[in-house]
Amino acid sequence: MSPDVFRSVDWVPFLLSVRLGFATALILIPIGIGMGYWLAFTRTRMRYLVEWVTNLPLVLPPTVAGFYLLMMVGPQSSIGSWLSSRWGIQLAFSFEGILLASVLFNLPFMVSAVRSGFEDLPSSWREQSFLLGRSEGYTLIRVLLPNMRSSIVQGFALCFARTLGEFGIVMMIGGNLPGVTEVVSISIYNKVEAFRYDEAHVYSLILVLISVVLLGVVSGIDSLWRSRRENH
């Protein structure tokens, strides 16, 4: 592999992927906390319907999910035309569109991580807080969330890492627009399609290194919080 390949790396797709990953994970944190809390503690039958809808992206092929999302928010759809005429928002083939797709596709991973964090906490903590007259909001923010930060970080890391590797749903809703929707996974596909295997290898290697570093940071944070929790 020629050293010139490394010097010719276009960092725009990497920056776009990192931006997409962080935005997706940040948006999903409050959504995941709200849905995870409700699913962990509610006892209504509606929970099963919400679980089914939330987990639907796990079984839908990404290209299928992306196609139907494109039909839903594309310029020819009623939602897409209303957003465009009323608010000037264009979701199809835009960064906002791939962000929406990424949020919907990664929703079950964040919800599952946060819900597991809630369910792993002793049930007595929540009950005792209520017995002391604390509100549900106070109990959530001051009692439960500080003790399940590792679950939130794990959910964040999982959504971020999966967003870096997303291809099908991003391609369907965002296309292949350099600097706008051409994330790293699509850029690698373009290199392979053009038989530029050396460049594809370099891009893939950089993506692997980013994932390894992310995993190490998350593991370190998780170990630190666990040790502090045990010491207390």
pLDDT at 211: 83
| CATH (domain of 39) | 1.10.3720.10
Nearest to 146 by CA among 118, 127, 170, 166: 118
pLDDT at 6: 62
Nearest to 105 by CA among 27, 48, 49, 36: 27
> DSSP 3-state helix, strand, coil percentages of the chain (rounded to 5)?
80, 0, 20
Full pLDDT tens readout for the chain, 232 residues: 555 666 678 899 999 999 999 999 999 999 999 999 999 999 888 888 999 999 998 888 888 989 999 999 888 888 888 888 888 888 889 999 999 999 999 999 999 999 999 999 888 889 899 988 899 999 999 999 988 888 898 899 889 989 988 898 999 999 889 989 999 999 999 999 999 888 899 999 998 898 888 878 877 776 776 666 666 5
The number of domains in the chain is 1
The dihedral sign for the CA sequence 221, 224, 229, 232: negative
pTM value is 0.89
The region, left, alpha or beta by phi > 0 then psi within -120 to 50, assigned to residue 135 is: beta
Which structure tokens are listed for 172? 């369907």
Alpha carbon 112 to chain centroid distance?
12
d(CA 186, CA 66): 15
pLDDT at 191: 92
Q: How far from 212 is each of 148, 170, 205, CA to CA, in Å?
A: 23, 23, 11
d(CA 66, CA 68): 6
Residue 186 contacts residue 170 (beta carbons within 8 Å)? yes
Which residues constitute the domain of residue 189? 3-231
Q: Within 10 A of 129 (CB to CB), how many other CB atoms are there?
A: 18
Alpha carbon 131 to chain centroid distance?
36
Q: Within 10 A of 198 (CB to CB), how many other CB atoms are there?
A: 15
Longest dimension (CA), the chain: 68
Residue 123 contacts residue 42 (beta carbons within 8 Å)? no
Which structure tokens are listed for 197? 């295997």
Q: What is the CA radius of gyration of the chain?
A: 21
List phi, psi (to 5°) of 182: -80, 90
Q: How many residues does the chain have?
A: 232
